[in-house]
Amino acid sequence: MIIFGLDPAIRTTGYGVVRAEGPSRYEIIDCGVIENKKTMPHSECLRRLYGGVNELIDLYMPDCAAMEEPFVGRNSKTAIILGMARGGIIAALAVRGIPVYSYMPSVAKRAAVGNGGAAKEQVAYLLAAELKIDVSQIPLDSTDALSLAICHAQRHFHPELGKLGKSV
Amino acid sequence: MIIFGLDPAIRTTGYGVVRAEGPSRYEIIDCGVIENKKTMPHSECLRRLYGGVNELIDLYMPDCAAMEEPFVGRNSKTAIILGMARGGIIAALAVRGIPVYSYMPSVAKRAAVGNGGAAKEQVAYLLAAELKIDVSQIPLDSTDALSLAICHAQRHFHPELGKLGKSV
């Protein structure tokens, strides 16, 4: 099973691609960041996010995707912009028929590295150690996305660890 | 010139398609609503919004699109969902290379019917009278979208009426 983890933002969207064959058998097959320069208009950012996710789908043919439940802060201007990134990315997945599940960020990190409050650096370090890869291969802004994909893999293969995330 | 007006929301997105040959020569060539049932998950709503806008683009080959500047209310949960609808629709336009401009809703209504505070019913009635069409042909939820398209047409042909909207 191939699972995408996605951590959307208009300027820096993290992604992780995990192949899972069981709760304790998974590997990172790709991770990275879709970067949009600060000077780019939102429409161009959304074109790049939509197109970037679409390319990743072509490459890896995922079975499903996991995203964060959106954090609802106080600032509704920020919330609209975060929502736009999220909407462009969910549209890209939905057009290709890929189901999307959402998890609380703390739940995802606890599943991936055993600590729901872990910093990005810790997540990268612990995943690298566990999977015996070089930590420099894991961009910090892809650690949340990787945690989400790993969390979904665990729940899929071991339902006793917790329910699958909400269908988005 | 063909201009789309779009008024996004996750459940009810209004659209208007206006052909303009000058500031006082325009006609409505289509208007309507993309409806998503309350029971549909967000991913399915976004698939339908993206697909619906894409179909409208195939049909009418617009030169540009006009949208509202998003209203920033106090509720950031609502703002994320509005942002998602907006993001899915802007992605559909951007992937097809259609430039998007935004206007304040009051500016658009003032341009279309002379009254920035007009209710949807008034906008429908006044547009129908001006264009000599039956008011029942204009769904109320498409009136904001039509005002946006007409506003953009006016500013395009008569720059002395005001600046073009912000590029999105």
Query: A51 and B95: CB-CB below 8 Å?
Result: yes
Q: Which CATH number fits domain B2-167: 3.30.420.10, 3.40.630.10, 3.40.630.40, 3.40.50.1970?
A: 3.30.420.10
Residue B80: its chain A contacts at CB < 8 A?
70, 72, 79-80, 82-83, 86
pLDDT at A24: 73
A contact test, residue of B76, B78, B102 with most A CBs within 10 A? B76
Residue in the block written with tokens 């590295």: A113
Asked whether the beta carbons of B147 and B108 are under 8 A apart, the reply is yes
What are the sequence ranges of the domains in chain A?
Answer: 2-167
Please tell me the predicted confidence (pLDDT) of residue B5: 98
| Interchain pair B94, A167: CB under 8 A | no
Candidates A90, A98, A164, partner chain B, best to mutate (most B CBs within 10 A): A90
Cα-based torsion angle of the residue sequence A51, A56, A61, A63 in order, rounded to the nearest 10 degrees? -90
Contact B6, B14 (CB under 8 A): yes
Q: How confident is the model at residue B22 (pLDDT cuts 50, 70, 90)?
A: confident
Over residues B110-136, mean pLDDT: 95
CA-nearest of B104, B125, B106, B102 to B115 is B106
The position carrying tokens 């390319």 is A55
User: Rounded CA gap, B39 and A123, in Å?
Assistant: 37
Bridge partners (DSSP) of residue A22 are: A25
* Residue B111 φ/ψ, nearest 5 degrees: -65, -40
Distances (CA, A) of A163 to A1, A56, A114, B6, B121: 18, 27, 17, 38, 47
State pLDDT tens for residues A80-127.
999 999 999 999 999 999 999 999 999 999 999 999 999 999 999 999
Known active-site residue A7: yes
**pLDDT score of A109:** 97
Query: What does the pLDDT look like over B67-88, one tens digit per residue?
Result: 999 877 778 889 999 999 999 9
**Which H/E stretch holds residue B83?**
helix B76-95
Asked if A30 and A90 touch (Cβ cutoff 8 Å), the reply is no
What is the per-residue pLDDT for B93? 98
- The residue-averaged pLDDT of B143-167 equals 93
Instruction: Give the Cα separation of B4 and A130 in Å (integer).
Output: 52
Closest residue to A88, CB basis, from B70, B88, B99 = B88
Please state the ipTM of this predicted complex. 0.93
* CA of B129 vs chain A CAs: smallest distance (Å): 35
pLDDT value at position A23?
65
Tell me how far apart the alpha carbons of residues B77 and A82 are, in angstroms, rounded to a whole number. 11
Q: What pLDDT does residue A22 have?
A: 74
Q: Where are the alpha helices (DSSP H) in B96-168?
A: 105-113, 120-131, 143-157
Unique residue bearing structure tokens 């049909």 = B59
> What confidence score (pLDDT) does residue A46 get?
98
What does the DSSP assignment read for A105-164? Answer: HHHHHHHHHS-TT--HHHHHHHHHHHHT--GGGS-GGGHHHHHHHHHHHHHHH-GGG-PP
pTM: 0.94
B168 and A77 within 8 Å at the Cβ level: the answer is: no
Residues of chain B by 3-state class (helix, strand, coil), percent to 5: 50, 25, 25
| pLDDT greater than 80 at residue A157 | yes
pLDDT at residue B75 in the model: 85
Residue B23 has pLDDT above 80, yes or no: no
Most confident range (mean pLDDT) of A78-82, A162-166, B42-46 is B42-46
How many residues make up chain B in this entry? Answer: 168
DSSP run (H or E) holding A82:
helix A76-95
